[in-house]
Amino acid sequence: MHPILNDISTNLQAGKAKIVRELVQQALDSGVPVKEILDEGLLSGMNIVGKKFKNNEVFVPEVLVAARAMNQGVQVLKPHLVDANVKPIGKVCIGTVQGDLHDIGKNLVKMMMEGKGIEVVDLGTDVQPATFVDTAREQGCRIICLSALLTTTMGMMTEVVQAAREAGIRDQVKIMVGGAPVTDAFCQQIGADAYTPDAASAAEKAVEFLTGEPA
């Protein structure tokens, strides 16, 4: 592993956003592959923060500054994850479900989808079921993408599936679900259309739904 990836992880854990930005840029300049910077630098640092958070070794303020550093690092990577020349292939909406404020994973999914030429309406965090359904109907989104990071909020995904049924649009939209506590079994149980474990596979699945062909 390139030593700079360890520096990125360590500075992310310390919430040093400016240094993280600089290190990510340096890593890119040195030819470290984008996926390695994301997985072994940024995400690995965030995972360590998550473990410490769970063990009460760090608390919400530290996690927030680490999250800010993560977002800054991702911004530097964005032009390399998104190919500006891809043709638009369809529109989707995405959001973190009601009651849930985690948005880093959702933002990554959005970025990867944009990289595949998908137009993404970003509804943000803490999104009510009706907002997903209204947006899909009013803006012609063919997929509703739901993210949840809490075991206490993943149940809201059921409400979105139900709201789509009640609005009479269930057969016109696909519903994709993801986030750390979500599983394929849960997806099937609530009657959603696809679970994917990470941002890259979510983007590939969305392309498949929009074009009818594998990405």
Which residue among 100, 136, 161, 187 contacts ligand B1M (CB under 6 A)? Answer: 100
Q: How many CB atoms lie within 10 A of CB 50?
A: 15
Which residue among 12, 24, 111, 199 contacts ligand B1M (CB under 6 A)? Answer: 199
Query: Under the criterion CB under 6 A, does residue 188 sit at the interface with ligand B1M?
Result: no
Of 10-18, 25-33, 78-86, 178-186, the window that binds ligand B1M (rule: CB under 6 A) is 178-186
CB of 161 to ligand B1M, least distance (A): 13
**Alpha-carbon dihedral angle through residues 200, 202, 204, 209, given to the nearest 10 degrees:** -170
Map tokens 């099937």 to a residue: 188
Residue 67 token pair: 């999250």
Beta carbon nearer to ligand B1M, 29 or 42: 42
The kind and range of the H/E element at 163 are helix 156-166
Q: Is 210 exposed, middle or buried (0-12, 13-18, 19+ CB in 10 A)?
A: buried
Give the footprint of ligand B1M on residues 102-161 (CB under 6 A). Answer: 102-106, 108-109, 145-147, 149-152
Of residues 194, 160, 188, the one with CA closest to residue 176? 194
Sites of contact with ligand B1M (CB under 6 A): 43, 46-47, 49-50, 53-54, 60, 63-64, 67, 99-106, 108-109, 145-147, 149-152, 176-181, 196, 198-199, 202
